[in-house]
Amino acid sequence: MKSSYRAVVIGGGVVGASVLYHLAKFGWTDVALVERAELTAGSTWHAAAGFHALNGDPNIAALQDYTINLYKQIEAESGQDVGLHMTGGVNFATNQNRWEQLKAGWATFQAIGVETASLVTPEEIREMTGGIIRTEDILGGLADTNEGYLDPYGTTMAYVGAAKKCGAEVILRNRVIELNQRGDGTWDVVTEQGTIHTEHVVNAAGLWAKQCGLMVGVDLPVTPMEHHYLVTESLEGLQALDCEVPVIADLDGFTYARQERDGLLLGVYERNPKHWMMDGAPWDYGIELIPEDIDRISEELAIGFDRYPELADVGIKKWVNGALTFAPDGNPLVGPVGPRGYWVACGVMAGFSQGGGVGKSLAEWMIHGAPESDIFGMDVARFGPHQSNKEYIRQTTAQFYARRMLFTYPNEQLPAGRNIKLSGAHQDMDAAGARWGNVWGLELPIYFADKDFEEPGTQRRSANFPLVAAECEAVRDAAGLLDISGFARYRISGEGAKDWLDHLLACKIPGAGRVKLAPMLAEDGRLKGDMTVFNWGDGSYWLMGSYYLRAFHMRWFNQHMGQNVQIEDISDATNGFLLTGPKTFDILETVSDTDLSGLSMMRCGMADLGLHRCQVARLSLSGEVGVEISCSANEHASLRKLLLQAGAVHDIKEVGFLSMLSMRLEKGIGIWNAEFTQSYTPAQTGLDRWIAWDKDDFIGREAAANAGNPSQVLVMLEVDADDADAVGFEPVWQDGKRIGMTTSGGYGHRLKRSLALALVHPSASEIGNALSVHVMGEERPTKVIEASPYDPTGARARS
């Protein structure tokens, strides 16, 4: 052990080993892994070690595909056998909704370029599984040849062996006791064998990630949970085969299975999960298991035994009940967090599907400043401080685990971790029939309905369809009132505020009393945010963006902090409403003594509305006249009452975000995490029209200017849909060739047309081009139409 390294990785499981390998492979050879016991001691050694590329987040699915394809490479580089069994895999459905989900999943694979998957019939499933499963109730399945399982110990050793050949070092039986940051930002890693000095610390501590986070004051939203599988004695049906059966997932039966020699390994995701050592595993815990709890998993086991009839006649050779670490949404925690130079790669409950992608992305981030892929679905910044609350972690991780194989409908609102943050008018809106969605802990109205209205889960157009249509029509014909508390607001002030914003944002900074749309770029020229900047004329500015990106935004701001600048996140202290529709100013004039005649498009200022002094801005997400009104949180309820009373004679209607999403789609307005992501450039998405190329300097200017012509461009599609609409990540086809994918979609209630935004090859982007797109796994005709089909000239919003 040396006294100093460039980076120290804490944790010798498969994830820590992957991080070490990728750091060394990408050029940081002066790195070390420190493990408290032996390699794999923790969760890795007892893992079932299956792998698959299927994931609800297509970006993570692509990284899982990378992980799988990496195994042969590390085996060759290290000389260590990883025990790779490339059996393929199959997920199957026993109800129509699940079958539609699998068909849509196949289409998503096509959209992101994973072409090893195929849809299979019950007869094909019976044949590929050697007849060991009961298939009479199966409707179909999604098979993928790029699935299988491997040896967890051999794989970890292969990562480590390949890393060592690049110069990395592994230090075993040496627990980290403290992490202390020096005044220059570097770290002292205090271990049982001495202190190591390093620039970077990576917490890949698995079951001990919580404790290693608290060493630096970071409370990570992770917890260990118990997970069972069993291994049977030999099955006659497997002994008779001359090849291995694929990895099998009975999604409606809560089990997965794979061959283990001539026996079967059967794993269970029970609906009654159990947490284990929520504050982190004991330091002396290692190659150990938790006593099995068969009664708790008996219902799911019974389903599994019914699916595999031969299990009734064979013995169980081994029970495994081991702890896996989960985050609230089941995805990993990756990236920088807390003090400078502290990184995390933990909560990776699917380490053999995701470990390679996690290691690659984190190493790229540490070395180059950003990962190659958009990994927001893994980014630790998707969580905020409220999500490290122990009860929140308990509820949400239990919900995720219990629903690991349950079908979640797109319109379903899950109950765990709810009603944490409530806007000032929440109680009154609830009484008025608001139905709620949740964004980063904040309850937002998604539509309004009578108290006896029920919305069954569906993958197709919901029962709320006519309610959302009525809200859109009210905005078109009169006025709608939308709670916009769910936007992030940052107040920027100080002598250096304008200069800092000028460097941070790609647009020109607006003059006093003006507003601009503000692309924010990363150093590589790709998008980092789609903000709106307000100049209030008093030396202060606002940046507004997506509420759930608050930790993500603040990390970026702090990484690029300027001199004499103060940044305040005022998102929770400030609530507001969007008043939108042709009657907007008729309503405002009845309650305001402020002359609003000068409040033209993209202007902002102060206004008195009744007893309220508010900040107002003329913006339109709906394509109609719109004024955003911001107030303090404790004025939100009374402001709502004032506006509704004043608007009653003008047929005002409260509306939710589903109607706003429909109307923004009709206007061709993109949103973050759909049309705009960290993977895309301004030229791809059309945001380049807001860039001030004549500015001398801003982050990402040179890279964006030299990016060349994009390989894909954003277009609007009209879809010949039936009772379902595109949602995003569906493949777009031209003459049988995949030429792009949708980014989002839905129904335009004012136009009465099914629409989708899509990134396609420029050759296919001309208006009128006939294409096709998969919707719910079914190929539907579509065509390219004008970018803003509702009121293309924008006359209604300016009227």
* Per-domain residue ranges of the chain: 4-368, 663-790
| 405-434: average pLDDT | 96
- E-strand ranges in 275-432 read 316-326, 333-336, 342-346
Report pLDDT for 404. Answer: 92
pLDDT bucket at 58, cuts 50 / 70 / 90 = confident
Contact indicator for 789, 733 with CB cutoff of 8 Å: no
Proportion of the chain above pLDDT 70, given as a percent: 100
How far is residue 45's CA from residue 789's CA, in Å, rounded to a whole number?
56
| pLDDT tens, position by position, 344-372 | 999 999 999 999 999 999 999 999 999 99
pLDDT tens across 693-712, in order? 999 899 999 999 999 999 99
Tell me the residue type at 702: E
Identical fold at 4-368 and 663-790? no
Mean pLDDT of 220-244: 95
pLDDT digits (tens, 9 = 90+) for 65-107: 999 999 999 999 999 999 999 999 999 999 999 999 999 999 9
Buried residues in 368-391 as b, exposed as e (16+ CB within 10 A): eebbebbbbbbbbbbbbeebbbee
Residue 472 confidence (pLDDT): 98
Residue 630: is its pLDDT beyond 90? yes
Evaluate whether 497 touches 541 at the Cβ level (below 8 Å). yes
- Region 291-303 average pLDDT: 96
pLDDT at 372: 94
Q: What is the pLDDT of residue 162?
A: 98
Task: Judge residue 188's burial from the number of C-beta atoms within 10 Å of its C-beta, 0-12 exposed, 13-18 middle, 19 or more buried.
Answer: middle
CATH 3.40.50.620 fits 4-368, yes or no: no
Alpha-carbon distance of 26 to 5, in angstroms, equals 16
Distances, alpha carbon 424 to alpha carbons 291, 643, 660, in Å: 48, 15, 21
Cα–Cα distance, 480 to 647 (Å, whole number)? 9
The rounded percent of the chain whose pLDDT value lies above 90 is 96
Report the alpha-carbon distance of residue 519 to residue 642 in Å, rounded: 35
Q: Is the pLDDT of residue 56 over 80?
A: no
Q: Of 699, 64, 53, 698, whose CA–CA distance to 370 is shortest?
A: 699
- Strand 342-346 and strand 194-203: pairing? parallel
Tokens of 642: 């004032």
Q: Over 90: is that where the pLDDT of 57 sits?
A: no
Residue range 746-754: mean pLDDT, rounded: 98
Structure-token pair, residue 183: 């005044």
Q: What are phi and psi of 193, to 5 degrees?
A: -105, 5
What strand order describes the sheet that includes 652-655?
604-609, 612-618, 626-632, 574-580, 479-483, 652-655
pLDDT beyond 90 at 643: yes
Assigned token pair, 737:
């060739």
Considering the domain 663-790 in this protein, what is its CATH number?
A: 2.40.30.110
Report the pLDDT value the prediction gives residue 725, as an integer from 0 to 100: 98
What are the E-state strand segments in 304-450? 316-326, 333-336, 342-346, 434-439, 442-448
**H/E element, 214:** helix 209-214
Beta strands in 148-300 (DSSP E): 148-149, 169-171, 176-181, 187-191, 194-203, 223-232, 247-250, 255-260, 263-268
pLDDT at res. 55 = 79
For 559-601, how does the pLDDT look when each residue is reduced to its tens digit (9 = 90+)? 999 999 999 999 999 999 999 999 999 999 999 999 999 999 9
Tens digit of each residue's pLDDT (9 = 90 or more) over 146-156: 999 999 999 99
Residue range 168-179: mean pLDDT, rounded:
98
Strands of the 566-569 sheet, one edge to the other: 514-521, 527-535, 541-546, 487-493, 566-569
- pTM exceeds 0.85, yes or no: yes
Confidence of residue 407 (pLDDT cuts 50, 70, 90): confident
Give the pLDDT of residue 115.
85
Output the pLDDT for position 62.
87
Cα distances (angstroms) measured from residue 495 to each of 234, 499, 566, 569, 699: 75, 9, 9, 18, 20
Q: Is 478 helix (H, G, I), strand (E, B) or coil?
A: coil
Per-residue pLDDT tens for 431-468? Answer: 999 999 999 999 999 999 999 999 999 999 999 999 99
Residue 1 pLDDT level (bands cut at 50, 70, 90): confident
